[in-house]
Chain A
């Protein structure tokens, strides 16, 4: 099985054969992005693999950096600025700032410049009646103008097209007539949901992704075939669910970003094997720490994905919060002379001062190296030597009255505190008791920093999974194929309307099953809806519908399911207020081949044998003697008492004083406080 995570700097390729993990890193190429993936596949030998699961930040980076193809946007006359206004929400810190501008607005960096957004004379009402017929002559004229400007794609989002797509379908035909060869996305096919801004921005991103990924995916499929791969090429979506590549390209806005979600899925899969259903997930990278949550075995999924503030697409996505603290976070000095950590980062180039690539500012990694936790000779699998003298110089040159040893100690503590704060924020936002949760710490720096969060948060335990640096890529081999359809219709649930709701679900399920053919046979469909109390503007998403037919007899179950979901989110319920459905969704899960964790038999705890001794500095007032262990040699039941360091090829785990680590049945390190 192959999992590939294409990042901005490196492409990580992971292959799992007979339970053994192989990995290679290939520099990502902007000129030939498929080339680096194919090179990684060639190195590890892709022939005979049943699946090749792919996630990429290529689309997201293109949007963030505005390296976008030239596209036009057609909408109902009078509405061309919907892309500029967004949802009109301002972030909290911009409420009183008159100079604040939306990052994708016309005064900043729009996805589609205003002159390429054209109004079309037509209008459908919210009931689907034609108020003004489509003015085809005017539409042709606008398309001819767009053609002269050299657009490569057209996004079409007409008002109320989610109710009746007639005009959008005709416009699409006109685009094919007037501008043959130009890619088109229409909102009624891309995301037929209410709320025109989100529908419009989703359609724009969709056509951009078609232009970015169509040739790429075809080339990838062909080149992998050339290497002897005859399995299934899948793309991961924003919730790290897999889609066969041809299916993904039907509505490619869904594959915009899969990286962080893959880590959450990986945590859920490992958690199921080792019997943990409530997990806080923290992926510690170089620049940031991404935090997500799994409650009762299920990742928290939302019905939208926010690319930048207010730049929203209607994609099911795993909720991930980020904080600007990671291994490469820069250490700076505040105006009053105190130590600050992050949110700036040294990035991959030049990287921390100890990398010796020209970085002069100290980072969290420099602090951990000076503490003695990191091995300067074995970093990143021994790929390069770390320069402790450069780290010392960088800390010494900080312009602060804080004593040298306190600078390092504070850097480490602050980095951990920033991460712990975000973990606590996520727990509080979801109204869960952190004492019931395990913290899954991954990313190459997860084990090095997060066990210390146990000193700040009353977590049950910290778990360092096997291969923490590759855990997100392994997540691509821990997930299923998930297909879904959704539709919007404002319907107040009642005896007179329940048949309309049932008809929507029947239609969507039939469409989904027809699309999937034989693979859907015998598999159940999950149904959910986004609903609200009559009079409200915002919905409670993912209200699960009980199994069985939707009829007048089961209406009360449907309404009760909504009130239960409302109470779970808001803490109170209003049973007397009628419920209005807005968006309806059907999902079909096709099980895919996954990484197979094989638990070893239970073993009584026993003290592990250390590889050697080391001295840890800046941990306490005086240097502390500790032992270090090789993770490869630790078997189930092996116990390590802190202070101690557990080293492996691509990662290091630091067990602080007062903590104990036990090796679990699949090789995970379970760290708990022993002094509490």
Chain B
């Protein structure tokens, strides 16, 4: 028995949210915010979609979108 819904899309894409900014490297205006997996783990990045320069990069949760069940239980309830 599957405990998760079967994906309906053929491929999964990370949602890239538009950010109002100008790329300091190439002057491009198509800046998007999304999560990337790179050396050092997951990062929340804002990247220019033309030249791929990162405008900002901050550490995201170590396991990305996966949240271990135990960590969701409030400390007081344990």
Contacts and interface: CB of A to CB of B under 8 A. Distances in A.
Same complex origin of A and B = yes
Interface of A: 84, 101, 105-107, 113-116, 145-146, 148-150
B40 interface: yes
Interface residues of B, number: 13
A150 B25 CA distance: 8
Contacts of B27: 148
Contact of B39 (A107, A115, A150): A107
Contacts of B54: 115
B40 A148 contact: no
Nearest to B40: A107
Nearest to B28: A148
Given A101-B39, A106-B39, A115-B25, A148 B52 contact: no
A101 B39 CA distance: 9
A240 B11 CA distance: 57
Contact of B25 (A105, A106, A149): A149
Contacts of B37: none
A145 B26 CA distance: 7
Contacts of B60: none
Contacts of A145: 26, 50-51
A115 B26 CA distance: 11
Nearest to B27: A148
Interface of B: 25-28, 38-40, 48, 50-54
B51 A115 contact: yes
**Chain B's interface: helix, strand, loop or mixed, by majority?**
loop
A105 B50 CA distance: 23
Given A107-B39, A149-B53, 8 more contacts: A101-B39, A113-B53, A114-B52, A115-B25, A115-B51, A115-B52, A148-B50, A149-B26
A148 to B, nearest CB: 4
Contacts of B52: 114-115
Interface centre among A84, A105, A113 (most CB of B within 10 A): A113
A150 B38 CA distance: 25
A145 B27 CA distance: 10
The 5 A-B pairs with the shortest beta carbon distances in the complex, nearest first, are A148-B26, A107-B39, A115-B52, A115-B53, A149-B25
Interface centre among B25, B48, B53 (most CB of A within 10 A): B25
A101 B41 CA distance: 13
26 contacts: A84-B39, A101-B39, A106-B38, A107-B38, A107-B39, A107-B40, A114-B52, A115-B25, A115-B48, A115-B51, A115-B52, A115-B54, A145-B50, A145-B51, A146-B51, A148-B25, A148-B26, A148-B27, A148-B28, A148-B50, A148-B51, A149-B25, A149-B26, A149-B51, A149-B53, A150-B25
A105 B39 contact: yes
A107 B36 CA distance: 14
